[in-house]
Structure 1
Amino acid sequence: MSKSIVVTGIGATSALGGTAPENWQNLLAGVSGARTLTHDWVAKYDLPVTFAAEAVVRPEDVLPRPVAKRLDPSSQFALIAAMEAWADAGEPEVDPDRLGVDFATGIGGVWTLLDAWDTLREKGARRVMPMSVPMLMPNSAAGNLSLHFGARAFARTVASACASSVESIASAYDHLQQGLADVVIAGGTESAIHPITVASFASMHALSRRNDSPETASRPFSADRDGFVMGEGAAALVLETEEHAIARGAKIYARLVGTAVTADAHHITANDPEGTGAARAMRQALAQAGRDASEVTHINAHATSTPVGDPAEYAALKSVFGDRVHEIPTSATKASTGHLLGGTGAIESVFTILAIRDRVAPPTINLVDQDPAIPVKASSQPQQLGDGAQLAICNSFGFGGHNAVAAFASYDG
């Protein structure tokens, strides 16, 4: 018999704020997190893109110095988001052997890796920090969360580019269904606003080049979109079986009712233009939930604001929902947060959960001239979802042809 899986805690830190409530408030208010970068390396390397959506609350201002210095920024953000989610869940009393961690990243400790390389070249091997490898490992965030919370059931990492953190949420769902844990801390993190990644994404023409207007650069669904804006941060969910949550008197945000992961097998960076794999993931997530596409009331789209990505996602949505896709309130929240890469699906899952809790779809900012080839029901203002039961999907797609979808439903006790 399938277990009911519920969300009892959330945490988030990004360019919109240092906590989940701050992120949600600023998202609904239409705030943009994109800003001109002030680092000297922008001019030093003559980068063609000079802006990004950096997290507004810096980890060193939150974490004790001895803790922060042992962690790459990606793991620092992960710990901050997870601590918030854990406190929000009421710090559950759970057997350590029944507490698991499913936490993702797309790139991992890129700052640690490249700083260590600079140290090696400039100062020699003896000056490379002994903690470099534990800090740069992609599984560092999951491992450190396991250490911090005493989670001994498992500590697992998914690295599937921009689909990573929804894949980790899917893994958490499976692990709870399989009875491997009673509580799981799930989510994703990224801190990769670094000259090498900015230069590389710019070289492949994936980034917007609106250096003169960072706040309006990310324009999902717009006719004049020209690429995404790099973001950073992390988000975390505390997931547990409903039985366990009720037994401890936990507040419950929503149900995680279904997940799915598929692959395009089309191209290493480009989406399948027909959206076949993405559509299959949406259908599978709804099938696992035992729900029909006609019940979906909200969509948090992947919508990166790239010329080829947005139409491919629309093709997938049209395949699943038919003409009804034009009636479902849809949000593209990367316009506000920037693209958190491996952390993006986690923060968008938080937004999806809060959307169905508050019965409001967040705005898609910078949507002035919507592309007529992508006629989803998006708005530059919040859209009301109505008072009835809510069912929402959160889409994440990544380089490598990865597709991941999570379906959340309002909690009715």
Structure 2
Amino acid sequence: MKRILLAVTGGIAAYKAIDLTSKLTQAGYDVSVMLTDHAQEFVTPLAFQAIGRNPVYTSTFIEQNPKEIQHVALGDWADAIVVAPATANTIAKLAHGIADDMVTSTLIATETPKFVAPAMNVHMYENNRTQQNMATLRSDGYYFLEPGEGYLACGYVAKGRMEEPLQIVERLNLFFKDMQQNQTTKESRFEGVHALVTAGPTIEELDPVRYLSNRSSGKIGYALAESLEKRGAIVTLVSGPTNIAPPENVDTIQVTSAEEMFKVVKNRFETQDIIFKAAAVSDYAPVETLDHKLKKQDGTLSVTFKRTPDILKYLGEHKTSQFLVGFAAETQNIETYAQQKLKHKNADVIIANNVGDRTIGFSSDDNDYTMYFENGDETHLGKAKKVILAERILNSLENRWQ
């Protein structure tokens, strides 16, 4: 039985931590809970004790076992620590090494894997200082459970909702499954492999004000790049414009247009072992890019477009030993179009999804992929967060891509 230490900090989402304790217990985890003073303004220790059936820890100065130092022993006891909800205040303290309560003292005193589920007002989340603090923790090895979008306690409908308990449980399940697999195989098949990932949209300019693009967020490409790096791959990420921070230890190249992305990928292609073409590249670009803003006029407007380079097709035509993974974002006839793309682009795998479903796909944290292999195999990965789906994609390819 794996042991989870749940650290609850002082945000309104603390009520979700009670449900999380229940879901973790139902999933077979042994759960102990720590509460900050501010968390106890929202929830009580008794609620967690009743569900988790373990002592609840609230102070570094109350030693329940005189034979050990509590905040050190708890970190050693746990197989993973989850901070949920994690406030901007707690994230800031951890990033700057401040240990002034039970939660921060325990987290700083252990090397146990740590997961952080931010929950806060959208402006607090997007604040430059908060983003820098989270980047610091990521570089220190913390795993982040990204907040979702929805109705916030402050009244905004925006990003900042704590990740749902079931998704946190699934992420932990995957984490421990991967740990077991890594212990069994000892070395990932991606260790030392040169991997190139494209991500995000491209922008095709019409004039200094207007452009043609799409709704791609780049989340799955960035998640793949990060997961590949953690498995020991040497990763190049070629990204269109996004709002995502570049992954640590990944060679990230920022581009804007389809032509720019094509040139970078073409120049790097020969040295790669595996390519993930996850970017949503514009199929067309204006024939003419104006130097000045196109002025409004009466009547209709016609713009002539030209085809942009078909990057996936080029890679399929020129690959030698490279393994080529393409993506198909469709709104109808998903399997038919994916199979056609697999054949016509000479790919080894096409990963397809229905972007007509607004609950998944572009701009969403979630997706629902099916992998179509060149030999006729199909693997449905199910609906999940994109960071989880990235792991599932790589798990499916571990023993196949070579």
**TM-score with structure 1 length normalisation?**
0.28
Flag the structure with higher helix content: 1
- Whichever of the two has the greater Rg, that structure is 2
Higher strand proportion (structure 1 or 2): 2
Question: Does 1 or 2 have the higher relative contact order (CA < 8 Å, sep 6+)?
Answer: 1
TM-score scaled by length of structure 2: 0.29
